């Protein structure tokens, strides 16, 4: 996996704009730091999201988090060439001749498609099994991504809760002006934390992960069609021409 430079740039621009706007208004970055507000917003948001997420989806969400900076490799042309090579081998040595390719293949889904092609050979069985796996894999990953989307939904609301708590503190200490500043700071900064966390980080992360999941599903559709073509005994050139339509 290679570092996604644009993700890094996007995060830097988003928060640079926030800090830059604060600076142009005459504020300092230290003024945006507030421990109680951070505890309320970050703790409340994470806790609510964990509460609604099953353990299996939470574990998968944490694994998918690496895609934010290191997205999965999705190479359509390489996969098409690989499937065309399967066809060449199968036409020369039969489907059993593909057994040597199983150990070479690292992608679990493509490896399973190759094993089914060797063991079953039936296009109908191949399509049914591989499509079921595609649907289940996509659903599992979409459920995991909802963890980040739900945090993006909860963060602004938890920020409002922090603002209300800060105002309660202010109202309780109206007779002591020296204590008003802390309460007002929590009230306003908690709102900033909640809205910024949702719109500058969490929701973009959820959308980006969803895009990668859709791309992986598209690649798996290519694998399904290609494997069925090989099972039908089509020639490598025809397979390549047909699968080229999957390339975005």
If you average pLDDT over every residue of the chain, what do you get?
89
pLDDT given for residue 166 in this prediction: 78
pLDDT given for residue 178 in this prediction: 67
Asked, for residue 130, whether it belongs to a domain, the answer is yes
pLDDT given for residue 218 in this prediction: 96
Q: Residue 149: pLDDT above 70?
A: yes
pLDDT given for residue 181 in this prediction: 65
In this structure, of 13-17, 183-187, 192-196, the range with the lowest mean pLDDT score is: 183-187
Q: Residue 114: pLDDT above 80?
A: yes
Number of domains in the chain: 1
- 6-15, 97-106, 129-138, 229-238 — which one is most confidently predicted on average? 129-138
Give Cα separations from 217 to 24, 95, 188, 198 (angstroms): 45, 26, 43, 27
Q: Residue 111: pLDDT above 80?
A: yes
pLDDT given for residue 182 in this prediction: 62
pLDDT bucket at 13, cuts 50 / 70 / 90: very high
Question: 232 lies in which domain range?
Answer: 34-246
Mean pLDDT of 202-227: 96
Asked, for residue 13, whether it belongs to a domain, the answer is no
pLDDT given for residue 28 in this prediction: 72
pLDDT given for residue 246 in this prediction: 92
CA geometry: angle at 30 spanning 28 and 32, to 5°?
90
Q: Residue 179: pLDDT above 70?
A: no
Locate 79 and state its tokens: 């996969």
pLDDT given for residue 189 in this prediction: 87
Burial grade of 227 (CB within 10 A; 0-12, 13-18, 19 or more): buried
Asked, for residue 147, whether it belongs to a domain, the answer is yes
Asked, for residue 24, whether it belongs to a domain, the answer is no
Asked, for residue 220, whether it belongs to a domain, the answer is yes
Locate 117 and state its tokens: 């092609």
Q: Residue 154: pLDDT above 90?
A: yes
Q: Summarize pLDDT for 26-54 with one digit per residue, the tens.
A: 777 777 788 888 999 999 999 999 999 99
Asked, for residue 101, whether it belongs to a domain, the answer is yes
Q: Summarize pLDDT for 222-245 with one digit per residue, the tens.
A: 999 999 999 998 999 999 999 999
pLDDT given for residue 180 in this prediction: 64
pLDDT bucket at 170, cuts 50 / 70 / 90: confident
Asked, for residue 12, whether it belongs to a domain, the answer is no
Q: Residue 165: pLDDT above 80?
A: yes
**How are the residues of the chain apportioned to helix, strand and coil, as percentages rounded to the nearest 5?**
85, 0, 15
Q: Residue 1: pLDDT above 70?
A: no
Locate 37 and state its tokens: 């507000």
């Amino acid at each position: 996996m290679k570092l996604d430079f644009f993700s890094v740039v996007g995060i830097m621009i988003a928060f640079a704009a926030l800090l830059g706007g604060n600076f142009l208004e005459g504020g300092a970055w230290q003024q945006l730091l507030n421990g109680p507000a951070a505890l309320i917003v970050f703790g409340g948001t994470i806790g609510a999201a964990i509460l609604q997420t099953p353990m299996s989806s939470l574990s998968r969400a944490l694994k998918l988090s690496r895609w934010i900076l290191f997205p999965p490799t999705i190479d359509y042309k390489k996969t098409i060439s690989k499937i065309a090579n399967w066809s060449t081998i199968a036409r020369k040595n039969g489907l059993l001749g593909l057994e040597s390719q199983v150990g070479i293949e690292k992608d679990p889904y493509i490896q399973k498609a190759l094993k089914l092609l060797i063991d079953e050979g039936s296009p109908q069985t191949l399509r049914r099994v591989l499509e079921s796996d595609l649907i289940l894999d996509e659903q599992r990953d979409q459920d995991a991504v909802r963890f980040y989307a739900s945090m993006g939904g909860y963060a602004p609301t938890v920020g409002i809760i922090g603002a209300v708590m800060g105002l309660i503190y202010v109202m309780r200490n109206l007779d002591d002006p020296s204590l008003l500043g802390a309460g007002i700071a929590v009230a306003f900064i908690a709102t900033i934390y909640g809205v910024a966390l949702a719109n500058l980080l969490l929701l973009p992360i959820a959308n980006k992960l969803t895009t990668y999941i859709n791309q992986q599903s598209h690649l798996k559709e290519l694998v399904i069609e290609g494997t069925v073509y090989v099972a039908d005994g089509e020639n490598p050139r025809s397979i390549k021409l047909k699968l080229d339509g999957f390339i975005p």
